Structure 1
Amino acid sequence: MSPPSSTTAFRNWMYRLLLSVSIAFAVIVFVQDAVYEFNFFDRLSLSFIDRSFAHRGPLKFSKDELDVIIITISDKSETTVPERFPFPRHYYARAIRNLNRAGVKAIGIDLTFEQPDPRGEHNDRELFKTIQQYRNVIVAGKTALRTEEATIQRQEENFHSIFYSADSSVGSVFVPNDVDGVYRRYMPFAKMPNQERYIPSFAFAVMNKVLHLPSTTCAENTEHEFILGDRHVPKYDDVSMLINYYGPAGKTFKEYDIVNILDDKDFETVEEKQLHTHINVFDDPDYGLLYDGTFKNKVVLIGPYFSESKDLFNVSVSEEGFSERNLMYGVELHANALQTLIHQNYLYRLSPFYESLLILFFSLFTFTVVSLLKSIRTQYAFIVEIAAVALVAAMMYGMLTLTYYVFAEFNFVLPVVSPIAAIILNYVGSAVYQYLTERKQKVMIKGMFSQYLNPSVVNELIAHPEKLRLGGEKKELTVFFSDIASFTNFSERLDAVELVQLLNEYLSAMTDIILKNDGTLDKYVGDAVMAVWGAPMELTNSALPACRAALQMQEKIREIDARWKEEGKPELVVRMGINTDYMVVGNVGGSKRFDYTVIGDAVNLGSRIEGANKTYGTRIMVSERTQELVKNEMLCRELDLLIVKGKTKPIRVFELVGEKSSGIAQSILQAIEIYCNGLHLYRERKFEEAKRVFAQALSMKPDDGPSKLYIKRCDEFITNPPPPDWNGVYEMKTK
């Protein structure tokens, strides 16, 4: 075949380019969701953000370097302070005063105060005045409708906080979760329905205090970022940013129990009351938190730290080596968002335009390189395929490595699913294109050889043209032989035309069964059929389909024989032999005319086994290796230790009775069990006992050839016992 012209080659490469661009476009539409949000791969895409956090690990900041400190309300708090949670509001007023004495910048209380304090209005008045006094406090607010828009319910809205009017210092604590239930995003504000009225979210409200902005200031929403004072926060989507989690829950920020903030000289804890002494963790002159600079210029968030608060969230970070431990209390989630804003340590993502360019690059690169690899012609085609797969795997691994690296070093969240989808689909597309472009050549080869060779051989030659040569390879295969019993008498009863007609009917039926069971028809020799399993098509267990085919052929033969008897035609009895062993397979013959066949001692043994059926009165005989490979699926009974003609070494042969799953009759199973007992007695030279057992088996299965044979042998050995060194081996004198 002449090489393609430059025009044809150019046209082929243009087709490749068009196909690659089409694949890239499909990925952009269905995976990137650039046109419509199909959301097919959202969960998978989001999971790579979590994997990026896991690969990066905690950020390299000590707790002292972080600006946020968490004051926890825990189980310990409830047992240490006089009042049970929910605490009287004057506790929070005391905490605010003490923290401001210690020099904090701002305080966020992650608790909603929707109703008056049941312990008395004086508690509310004290907290209200304290918030008004310091004007650096944010309390939690919430909205009526929790959606992506986080909308607000009423016209005269206090955002579920009776202290809103103190300083308008309320922040919405609603945080949106993703489709997999994980909290990765943070909204800068909430919007009232049907109005242009907004409330800042909790962390952004605290940032208003840090940046000395009015309490109600909301971030400006621009095309690519949210702007709050001098902070330019990159958007993740239209309504949120990504939280850059600094580390796993409970191990990242400094944490103090609220009792340590309340315990000044004017506050008596349960422990102090029991011990009749003052501890004063907060303002003790020697070790108190007031004097050690812990809170100087820090931002403090106060919130619940006990499971009953139902304030736990699934987040992107977890303890190292324990991905399931990713629950974080809400106050710490807000702390991570707030610290992200203070450090301006934002996470960025590629714009849809640049993501599309990335997809297009990987599409063109993958398709081109894989096509070039597959165009290499070699007798070791599998090496080329391995190289192509290795290249695709290396590209995917490189994409993942790049993703984790730029996330850790540059805070960039690269898309993973869409580029990898482009790589995989272009590899598949290249393979499909290669198949289609070579199909004409394969059809031509098939047309040239199918009329001379078995179709399976033709397919093998199409897949491996290098096999069009003399020689072969040695491999374990299963060979099958069959022969019509008493064919001479069979043929003498028919004229030539009728004989050929019946033979064609018989051989066609047998051939169909062989091919249906993945066998290769080797040849016909008159009425004899030779077939092979395991070549050229590789089979995990070549013996099993060969045995199934033999059983199906015997069933078909009984069907044909019944019909022929009705038509007055000769009886059809076919004997079969199967052997599994190593044999040489390949193209055998001259350089211009050759046959794909098997040769070797194992092939000859298969033929001898087929002939041995005549001696034992059986229809299907298999070798020991064949029986070993099919014993779990097939019922075989041992026939003999046999030395076939032309050999000196005995082999163990078996009769193939049937497939276990097909439901073999109980009477046959019992007869075989009795027969096997007789064979055991026979080999122990207990010939009279063996004869009685074989007779019992024969009574249950009157046409059992092996039982008849062994009764005859027992009679002979009873009359003329074998020599002392007799080992039960029978030597055949004929083929």
Structure 2
Amino acid sequence: MLKYWRRHQWIVFCSLLFSAVLVLAQLSAVYSEQSLLKRLDGILYDSRLTLTLPYRAATDLPVVIVDIDEKSLQQVGRWPWSRQLVAQMLEQLTEAGASVVAFDVIFSEPERNPVQQVLQGAKQQLSAGMTEELQQLAPALDADQHFANSLENKDVVLGFLFQQEQLAIGQLPESYVLMDTEASQSSASHFEGYVANTAVLQQHSSGTGFINSSPDPDGFIRQAALLIRYQDQVYPSLALEAARLYALANELTVETAPLEQINTIVGVTVGNTRINTDLYGRVLIPYRGPARSFPYISASDVLHGQVDKTLLKDAIVFVGTSAVGHADLRSTPVGVQYPGVEVHANVFEGLIYPELIHSHPDWAEALVFLFLVVLGLLMSLTFPALGPVSLALSGSGLLLLTLGGNLYCWQVLKLDLPLTSSLLLILGLTLLNLIYGFFGASQQKARIKSIFDQYVPPAHIDEMLNHPESVSLDGKRKEMSVLFSDIRGFTSLSEKLSATELKSLLNRYFSPITKTIFEHQGTIDKYVGDMVMAFWNAPLDVKDHAELAVKAGFSMLKVTDELSKSFVSDGLPAIDIGVGINTGEMNVGDMGSEYRRAYTVLGDAVNLGSRLESLTKYYGVRFLVSQSTVQQCQNIIFRSVDKVKVKGKTEAVAIYEPVDASLVLNPDLVVALQQHEQALLLYSEQNWADAEVLWASLHQRYSDKLYSLYLERLAHYRQHPPGADWDGVYTHAEK
């Protein structure tokens, strides 16, 4: 342990310091509304919400929105309308069967009575008799009283607005909220003023609720306040009051819990339903979807009786406006031009179905704090000992587990837990240790190179000495063929051998393989473990380089078969290889540093050659080449294998298996090749049945893995058709 600490003390210290800074940032976010972590959490919250919207439980709650839209203003007139029209609209809604109507509109000023306007403007010109007649006519033209009368015996909720300024417009409603403690000592948000409805309307309304929104610091509406305190009373929101009337409850009960000098709100009971809240009496809004997820009806259609009454039967109606100049549009996780009235509708649905509401418990921050401390310690102490691959896999695994756990809590447990700090911790410590490992590995490689440079002979020295004028080691781009080959199952094979036996086996293998490549005018690029890389057409030009490369591949397979028999007779494991060849434009030249250089090739064409060698295992063949190689090998027969997109490539590539000339003499194999090509054509045409017959016949005769692979694909595509625009390309995610 002491040795481990001495070796990694700096990275452990830096990791612990990073963890501590993040833990402190998480703690400060609890008390700061402007915290960067909170803003990032808001972004992740929005992404998580929209990601899980398709899986949100659907309800049959008949919520309808009556919209005072552009069409309504064009047909009826500009807003505000006469209260008589509003009363007429209310009558139409109730006659159609609406059970509760909630207005996301404030009627804060009395409507002018035309009779009173005449009496005031022409008082001197009117006789006593005319004045008396007009005064008798005034009540019949009192729009406010008409609207107030229409509110009688109906479950109607009027909206009002709390403000921080000390002002009082209109009349506040009677509060039906019962507190189990003093309202003035509760944790509900407190306001100093209000804009309410006129007294005559307020006195006839069944209920009234505030329409204030509760935006986060970034302006997005993610939660809604159900309760607000004004002086010594607590008032409900528009949605909460609508839920009270819908539940036929006479009152709302607020449950609190003592915390130091205040009583924190923990829940609200509507009828027989309890809704958990945060300590300020807020809930997360269970959005149904983007704007217009609820049915919308134009207010003018309601006034003109042009509404399907079945839509309003027993419905809860929210009346609001989306007209230009009057639009109450909000920024929400599901849209930045979201109607405010629909926010109330979403909150109402959550109050009736509390299982839709996700809770953000008071202990969420404490849980995240504990998670950060434990995970920070574990990662800081264990990650320095991991290699780059293990480090990347561990970091990715922790990242996926954290994301999955958070998503599980959200979707199944209905818990909203902060996520940003946890992701930053995992990403930060993983990156920190990767950087540390990179520099450590670079220093180690530099030390090893300084030791072994003297044992590496210069490449291509004979060619340079014999033909210096024809050889250029300067970097250039030219068409070449590249070959990759490695021993199948080399890792498990090496574990069975001692170091001496493994060295002997590789030496016996590399020597004839290298000789074969040289005999076919190829250049050895490098050996990496059991892998051999060679190329053709550099440093000297080689005619028919693609064909020579394929012939070299055949020869390598033959040499390997002979070596394998020799190894078995000597008590060593049998070996087999895979070969991949590609032809294309490559960068070739003498590359490296002033201490060590290598003549090598680079480019996408080289990478494709490596991918082809890897794919031999997938298709169960020993030899694969690209279409560009096939086009330059007129004297060699090939079997079509597939049309693929390999990892790192965006374009499809046709791949083939070279066929040994000796096999072409067998008429049965020639027929099998033709049958396979015909099956591939049927497969590309999505003629699954006929292709299956051909491949099934081939598989029965030869048990070739390629045929079983296509039979599996056919079975999959029968169940999951790829569509008419399918181009027959198979995408490989693995290298």
Q: TM-score, normalised by structure 2?
A: 0.50
Taking structure 1 as the reference length, what is the TM-score of the superposition?
0.50
Greater radius of gyration (CA):
1
